[in-house]
């Protein structure tokens, strides 16, 4: 866990820096707001192919795959040093698409490795610490990236990210994990294996409502994010730069959420944590409609607290329920269903903000989120009890965790 979390911190720092700078870089070279927005879409687009890309994580050993993926990005990113004018922006977009594809495979491999090497009792704690590590980097990396870009341009930021990938590759290579080589079948078919991950998720009464809750939460989050500048401007009467303050407070809430998630999951099931997280998120979104600086800051902190609990609950449940030989596909499918709505709702939210006052829009989002959270919380226990064997009980020959194909974390920790 220590080696892995250190790798997450290192790679997360570089990734956050690069994601922030990519849009600024495109804007500075082209002067186009639409192309700058397209940079974010280029990073998100490969998530839509997550189930297909995640199949790779079930065909090879996961730790070597993580090493190769990080090393490949370390070698690719220096290419961006050639992006010095508007006519070379296409190269930046090409790298961003590859960056997003690498991220989809990397995420699937990470979750699959964790699912097959850690015992169930540690999954919640681990995922919470992982969330804290990622969110902590989001508080630091933007400042470093903005300073580097303002002084030297995008090239040094790309080199910083490349260095973080190289160091992460070394850390993953040193991680004390033992994995069995995945069993090979003469009838292996990429499309069939991808479809199996989708089928396993659909067949699990435990995962279906949780993944749906994650997707719905991120749908609301996208619209809420699109409304942030309207809140700052018409609601608070502040300059657009004040949005950075709200995001920083939200990030602090997310760091705390990660630290609390593990202890909470030792006491309550994933479904309960997701319901509480969505409820807190929804109420805070509604409070943002109030034109007061103090309530806006408090709402940002609560949003940062609630939303990660939903994501940690979904991630932990997927890892716990996943058969060892299908963990990558199942994780990638869940990631696509959870995060794709966020990318789509950002554009949808921009339209809604243009036609609806945020004093109407945000309370509507709050009511929708609260209703979903209540429904998730009060839904009968029958599905949960039946679902304990749902995904694992319908694997059609796939080995479950602890069987052939599972690895072990040497030395515990």
- Nearest-angstrom CA–CA distance, 38 and 49: 18
Domain 1-173 and domain 197-388, same fold? Reply is yes
Average pLDDT, the chain: 81
Confidence of residue 98 (pLDDT cuts 50, 70, 90): very high
Q: Domain extents for the chain?
A: 1-173, 197-388
Any idea of the CA torsion for 292, 298, 304, 309, to the nearest 10 degrees?
Answer: -130
Domain at 197-388: CATH code: 1.20.1250.20
Kindly give, in sequence order, each residue whose CB lies less than 8 Å from that of residue 104, ignoring residues fewer than 6 positions away: 46, 47, 49, 50, 53, 54, 332, 335
Confidence of residue 277 (pLDDT cuts 50, 70, 90): very high
Least-confidence region, from 106-110, 166-170, 325-329: 325-329
Question: Three-state DSSP class for 178?
Answer: strand
pTM, two decimal places: 0.76
- Nearest-angstrom CA–CA distance, 368 and 362: 10
Residue 202 has pLDDT above 70, yes or no: yes
Residue range 364-405, pLDDT digits in tens:
999 999 999 999 988 745 454 554 444 444 333 333 333 323
Domain 1-173, CATH among 3.30.465.10, 3.40.50.800, 1.20.1250.20, 2.120.10.90: 1.20.1250.20
Identify whether the C-beta of residue 41 lies closer than 8 Å to the C-beta of residue 343: yes
- Nearest-angstrom CA–CA distance, 221 and 307: 8
């Amino acid at each position: 866990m220590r080696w892995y979390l250190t790798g997450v911190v290192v790679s997360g720092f570089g990734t956050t820096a690069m994601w922030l700078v990519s849009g600024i870089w495109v804007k500075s070279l082209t002067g186009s707001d639409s192309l700058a927005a397209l940079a974010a879409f280029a990073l998100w687009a490969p998530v839509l192919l997550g189930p297909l890309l995640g199949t790779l994580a079930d065909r090879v050993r996961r730790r070597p795959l993580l090493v190769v993926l990080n090393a490949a990005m370390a070698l690719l990113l220096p290419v961006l040093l050639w992006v010095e004018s508007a006519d070379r922006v296409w190269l930046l977009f090409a790298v961003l698409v590859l960056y997003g594809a690498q991220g989809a495979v990397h995420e699937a491999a990470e979750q699959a490795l964790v699912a097959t090497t850690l015992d169930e009792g540690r999954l919640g704690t681990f995922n919470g610490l992982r969330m804290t590590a990622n969110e902590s980097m989001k508080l630091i990396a933007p400042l470093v990236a903005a300073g580097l870009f303002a002084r030297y341009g995008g090239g040094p930021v790309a080199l910083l990210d490349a260095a973080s990938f190289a160091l992460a590759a070394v850390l993953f290579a040193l991680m004390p994990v033992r994995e069995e080589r995945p069993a090979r079948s003469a009838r292996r078919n990429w499309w069939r294996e991808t479809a199996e991950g989708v089928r396993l998720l659909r067949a699990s009464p435990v995962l279906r409502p949780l993944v749906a809750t994650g997707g719905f939460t991120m749908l609301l989050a996208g619209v809420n994010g699109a409304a942030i500048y309207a809140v700052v401007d018409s609601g608070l009467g502040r300059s657009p730069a004040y949005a950075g303050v709200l995001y920083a407070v939200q990030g602090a809430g997310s760091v705390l959420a990660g630290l609390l998630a593990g202890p909470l999951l030792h006491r309550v099931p994933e479904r309960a944590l997701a319901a509480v997280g969505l409820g807190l998120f929804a109420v805070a979104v509604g409070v943002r409609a109030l034109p007061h600086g103090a309530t806006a800051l408090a709402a940002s902190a609560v949003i940062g607290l609630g939303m990660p609990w939903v994501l940690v609950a979904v991630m932990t449940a997927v890892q716990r329920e996943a058969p060892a030989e299908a963990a990558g596909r199942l994780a990638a499918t869940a990631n696509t269903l959870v995060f794709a709505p966020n990318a789509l709702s950002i554009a949808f939210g921009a339209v809604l903000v243009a036609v609806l006052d945020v004093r109407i829009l945000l309370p509507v989002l709050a009511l929708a989120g609260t209703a979903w959270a209540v429904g998730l919380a009060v839904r009968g226990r029958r599905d949960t009890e039946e679902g304990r064997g749902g995904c694992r009980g319908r694997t059609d020959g796939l080995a479950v965790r602890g069987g052939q194909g599972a690895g072990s974390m040497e030395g515990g920790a």
